[in-house]
Amino acid sequence: MTYDLIIIGGGPIGMACAIEAKKAGLSYIVLEKGVLVNSIYNFPTNMTFFSTSNLLEIGGVPFIAHNDKPTRREALEYFRRVQESWGLRIQLYTEVLRMKRSGANYLLHTSKGDYEGRHVVVATGFYDTPRLLNVPGEELKKVKHFYDDPHPYVDQKVVVVGAANSACDVALETYYKGAEVTMVIREQEIYPKVKYWIRPNIENRIKEGSIKAYFNSRIVEIRPSEVVLDTPEGERIIANDFVLAMTGYMPNYKLFEQLGLPISDDEDKTPLHNPETLETPLPGVYVAGVINAGLQTSKLFIENTRVHAQIILAHMVSKDSVSA
Ligand SMILES: Cc1cc2nc3c(=O)[nH]c(=O)nc-3n(C[C@H](O)[C@H](O)[C@H](O)COP(=O)(O)OP(=O)(O)OC[C@H]3O[C@@H](n4cnc5c(N)ncnc54)[C@H](O)[C@@H]3O)c2cc1C
C-alpha cells in the first residue's frame, strides 16, 4: 500500500508526528530501527531528565512522575503508555536504509522490505553517532562512547572526557561507586549549563580532590593501561583502565545521504529545511525533532520540538487540500 505518511524514527517526536497524522485521519506508519523510543532506552540506566515531566508530554497524555524531573525508567513507561493509548502504528526493528523517488511518491528501502509513502518525516535524532576523539587507541575495547551503568567501573581507574551534563553525571556516578575518576576537560571550567543540582556537586568534588580534573587539556593517546594527556603543564601519562568519552553525539549524516537530504554548508550542518514549514527541498519530505539543529545538539530538545508535529501536519494537510 501507499501510505499518506511514513515517519522515520520512533522517538518522542516521531511519535508526536504519528499522533497528529492519526488526528488528521491519514494513513501512516512509523519505522523504528530499534525498540520504542530507542534513544531513551539507551540513555544511562539511572539518568534523570533535565526537563520537568509536563514539558515532555505529547498527545495530551499526562506524564505523572514521582519527582518534578522524571527518570529514564519513568519516561520509557510514559512513552509506552502514549503508544498504547493512541494505538500508534509503529513498526519496530525496521531500519530505513535508503530512499528514492517513485513518481510523485517516495520508496523507502528498509531492513524488512520496501515501504511507499506520499510524504515522509525524518525524525531520527542524534544518539546513534558519537563524536569521536580521533586519537590513537580510541578503538580499544576499554573506550566507551555510551555509558549505561556504574557497576563495571567499581575499583577501576576511569578517565571521563567532557564537561557537559553526561560527563558530569558519569563522573559523579562512577566516583560514588568507588571508581578512581579523572576528568579531562578541553575548556577551563565545567560547562555552565550543567543541571543546576549537579554543577555544585561536581565542582565541590573537584575542589576537594575526590575527583581529579585536568582543565584546558585533552587526551592525545590511549594505551591499554594508560592515557597520555596534553595539559597546560605539559604531557602527563596516567594509569588507566577505562575511558568514558562523553563528548556528545551528532546526527547520522551517512543516513541523510542515503535519503538524499541536502545539508547546509555552514558549520551547523543542518538538514536544509524551511523553518516555517519544516519541509526540506524534497517536496513532501520533512525533518522533525533534534536533528533540525544539525551539529548544534544542545539547541533543540523534546520540549522545544514537540511542536514540530503540529507544524508539519498542518502544512501537509493544507498543501494537500490546495492541490486536491
Ligand atoms: C543523555 C541525554 C539526556 C537528555 N535529556 C533531555 C531532557 O531532559 N529534556 C529534553 O527535552 N531533551 C533531552 N535530551 C535531548 C533530546 O530531547 C533527546 O535526545 C530526544 O530523545 C530527542 O527526540 P527525537 O524524537 O528528536 O529523537 P530520538 O529520541 O533520538 O529518536 C530518534 C529515533 O530514530 C530512530 N532511528 C534512527 N535512525 C533510524 C533509521 N535509519 N531507521 C529507523 N529508525 C531510525 C532511533 O532508533 C530513535 O529511536 C537528552 C539527550 C540526551 C542524549
Is there a single domain that holds both residue 215 and residue 307?
no
| pLDDT score for 320 | 75
Q: What sign does the CA torsion over 282, 31, 123, 294 have?
A: negative
User: Do residues 233 and 280 share a domain?
Assistant: no
- For residues 197 and 240, state if they share a domain: yes
What does each of the 324 residues of the chain score in pLDDT, given as a tens digit?
A: 899 999 999 999 999 999 999 999 999 999 999 999 999 999 999 999 999 999 999 999 999 999 999 999 999 999 999 999 999 999 999 999 999 999 999 999 999 999 999 999 999 999 999 999 999 999 999 999 999 999 999 999 999 999 999 999 999 999 999 999 999 999 999 999 999 999 999 999 999 999 999 999 999 999 999 999 999 999 999 999 999 999 999 999 999 999 999 999 999 999 999 999 999 999 999 999 999 999 999 899 999 999 999 999 999 999 876 665
Do both 25 and 66 map to the same domain? yes
Could you tell me if the CB of 260 is within 6 A of ligand 1?
Answer: no
pLDDT value at residue 319: 84
Cell of residue 209, nine digits: 580532590
Q: Looking at ligand 1, which residue's alpha carbon is closest to its atom 1?
A: 43
Residues 18, 112: one domain?
Answer: yes
Q: Residues near 68 by Cβ (< 8 Å), separated by ≥ 6? A: 52, 53
**Cα–Cα distance between 198 and 269 in angstroms, integer?**
31
The domain total for the chain is 2
Decide: 271 and 251 in contact? Cβ < 8 Å: yes
Instruction: State whether the Cα torsion 128-157-160-177 is positive or negative.
Output: positive
Residues 30 and 121 in one domain: yes
DSSP character string of 98-120: EEEEETTEEEEEETTEEEEEEEE
Supply the pLDDT for residue 287: 98
Q: How many helices (H) and strands (E) does the chain have?
A: 7, 17
Same domain flag for 230 and 165: yes
Amino acid 49: pLDDT:
93
Provide the residue range defining the domain that includes 154: 143-245
Q: Which three cell numbers stand for residue 186?
A: 578541553
Whether 280 and 286 have beta carbons less than 8 Å apart is answered as yes
Does this model's pTM top 0.75? My answer is yes
CATH for 167: 3.50.50.60
pLDDT of residue 323: 61
Compute, in angstroms, the gap from residue 86 CA to the centroid of ligand 1.
20
CA of 49 to the centre of ligand 1 (A): 12
Length of the chain: 324
Which of 187, 210, 245 is a domain's end point? 245
pLDDT score for 322: 62
Are 10 and 158 part of one and the same domain?
no
Burial class (CB in 10 A: 0-12, 13-18, 19+), 44: middle
Both 192 and 278 in a single domain? no
Last residue of a domain, one of 178, 213, 245: 245
CA distances from 55 to 58, 105, 201, 204 (A): 9, 35, 25, 30
Q: Which residues contact 186 (CB under 8 A, 6 or more apart)?
A: 163, 216, 217, 218
Residue identifier of the C-alpha nearest atom 41 of ligand 1:
96
Residue 34 CB less than 6 A away from ligand 1: yes
Answer with the one of 228, 245, 262 that is the final residue of a domain. 245
